[in-house]
Amino acid sequence: MPTITTHNLGFARIGAHRELKFALESHWRGETSIDAVLDTATQLRARHWGLQSGLDWVPVGDFSLYDHVLDTSAALGCLPERARAASLDRWSVYFRAARGRAHAQCPAAPVAAAEMTKWFDTNYHYLVPEFDAHTRFELDDHWLQTQWTQARSLGVRGKPVLLGPVSFLRLGKARDGSDRLKLLDALLPVYAQWLERLHRDGATWVQIDEPVLVEELDASWRHAFNLAYHTLKAVPVKLLLTTYFGPLGENLYLAANLPVAGLHLDAVRARAEVSAALNLLPPTKVLSLGVIDGRNVWKTDLDATLDWLEPLAARLEERLWLAPSCSLLHVPVDLDLERRLPHPLRDWLAFGVQKLDELRCLAQALTQGKDSVAQRLEEQRQAVQSRRDSPSVHRPAVQAALAAWDDALGRRRSPYAQRIALQQQRLQLPAWPTTTIGSFPQTADIRLQRKRMRDGLIDPAAYEQAMRKEIAHCIRVQEELGLDVLVHGEAERSDMVEYFAEQLDGFALTEHGWVQSYGSRCVKPPLLYGDVQRPAPMTVRWATYAQSLSTKPVKGMLTGPVTLLNWSFVRDDQARETTCRQLALALRQEVLDLEAAGVAIIQIDEPALREGLPLRQADQAHYLRWACACFRMAANGVGDATQIHTHMCYSEFNDIIEHIAELDADVITIETARSAMELLDAFERHHYPNGVGPGVYDIHSPNLPSVQQMIDLLRRAAQHLSPQQLWVNPDCGLKTRQWDEVVPALRHMVQAARWLREHTAEAT
Ligand code: GLN
Ligand code: ZN
Q: What is the pLDDT of residues 50-73, one digit of tens each?
A: 999 999 999 999 999 999 999 999
The whole-number average pLDDT for the span 8-37 is 98
**pLDDT tier at 701, thresholds 50, 70, 90:** confident
Rounded to the nearest whole angstrom, what is the distance from the C-alpha of residue 129 to the centroid of ligand 1?
28
* 377-424 per-position pLDDT tens digit: 999 999 999 999 999 999 999 999 999 999 999 999 999 999 999 999
- Strand ranges (E), 450-514: 505-508
Cβ of 602 less than 6 Å from ligand 1: no
Cβ of 438 less than 6 Å from ligand 1: yes
What is the C-alpha separation between 594 and 590, in angstroms, rounded? 6
**3-class DSSP assignment, residue 136:** coil
Contacts of 666-669 spanning 24+ positions with Cβ under 8 A: 666/416, 666/419, 666/420, 666/423, 666/690, 666/691, 667/643, 667/691, 667/692, 667/693, 667/727, 668/692, 668/693, 669/435, 669/437, 669/645, 669/693, 669/694, 669/695, 669/727, 669/729, 669/731
The whole-number average pLDDT for the span 102-106 is 72
What is the C-alpha separation between 300 and 356, in angstroms, rounded? 11
pTM of the model: 0.95
Q: Which residues pair with 489 in a beta bridge?
A: 439
DSSP per-residue string spanning 286-320: EEEEEEE-TT--BPP-HHHHHHHHHHHHHHHGGGE
Q: Pick the catalytic residue: 17, 230, 622, 700?
A: 700
Q: What pLDDT is recorded for position 764?
A: 44
Q: Which residues pair with 570 in a beta bridge?
A: 528
**pLDDT tier at 677, thresholds 50, 70, 90:** low
**pLDDT tier at 673, thresholds 50, 70, 90:** low
> Cβ(264)–Cβ(323) under 8 Å?
yes
Rounded to the nearest whole angstrom, what is the distance from the C-alpha of residue 699 to the centroid of ligand 2?
9
Q: Which residues pair with 668 in a beta bridge?
A: 646, 692
Rounded to the nearest whole angstrom, what is the distance from the C-alpha of residue 482 to the centroid of ligand 1?
21
Q: What pLDDT is recorded for position 576?
A: 98
Mutation probe of ligand 1 site: the residue of 542, 732, 736 with most atoms within 8 A of C-beta? 732
The whole-number average pLDDT for the span 289-313 is 98
The ligand minimizing its distance to the Cα of 496 is 1
Q: By percentage, how much of the chain surpasses pLDDT 90?
A: 91
Residue 151 has pLDDT above 80, yes or no: yes
The whole-number average pLDDT for the span 251-278 is 98
Burial label for 620, CB within 10 Å (0-12, 13-18, 19+), is middle
Cβ of 637 less than 6 Å from ligand 1: no
Nearest to 720 by CA among 745, 754, 687: 687
Nearest CA to ligand 1 atom 6: 733
Cβ of 247 less than 6 Å from ligand 1: no
Across all residues in the chain, what is the average pLDDT?
96
Active site includes 700? yes
The whole-number average pLDDT for the span 73-101 is 94
What is the C-alpha separation between 60 and 695, in angstroms, rounded? 43
Q: Which residues pair with 290 in a beta bridge?
A: 266, 323
The ligand minimizing its distance to the Cα of 487 is 1
Which phi and psi (to 5°) does residue 722 adopt?
A: -75, 145
Q: What pLDDT is recorded for position 106?
A: 77
**pLDDT tier at 26, thresholds 50, 70, 90:** very high
Residues sharing a CB contact under 8 Å with residue 33, sequence separation 6 or more, in sequence order: 27
Query: Which has the minimum average pLDDT: 623-632, 694-703, 720-729?
Result: 694-703
Cβ of 209 less than 6 Å from ligand 1: no
Q: Which residues pair with 527 in a beta bridge?
A: 508, 569
**pLDDT tier at 3, thresholds 50, 70, 90:** confident
What is the C-alpha separation between 624 and 609, in angstroms, rounded? 8
Q: Which residues pair with 669 in a beta bridge?
A: 647, 693
Looking at residue 619, its amino acid is D
- Note if the bond before 283 is cis, omega within 30 degrees: no
- Please give the number of the atom of ligand 1 that sits closest to the Cα of 438: 4
**pLDDT tier at 763, thresholds 50, 70, 90:** very low
Q: What pLDDT is recorded for position 86?
A: 87
Q: By percentage, how much of the chain surpasses pLDDT 70?
A: 98
What is the C-alpha separation between 480 and 730, in angstroms, rounded? 17
Which residue stretches of 390-443 are H helix?
396-403, 416-427
The ligand minimizing its distance to the Cα of 603 is 1
- Please give the number of the atom of ligand 1 that sits closest to the Cα of 649: 8
Q: What pLDDT is recorded for position 761?
A: 63
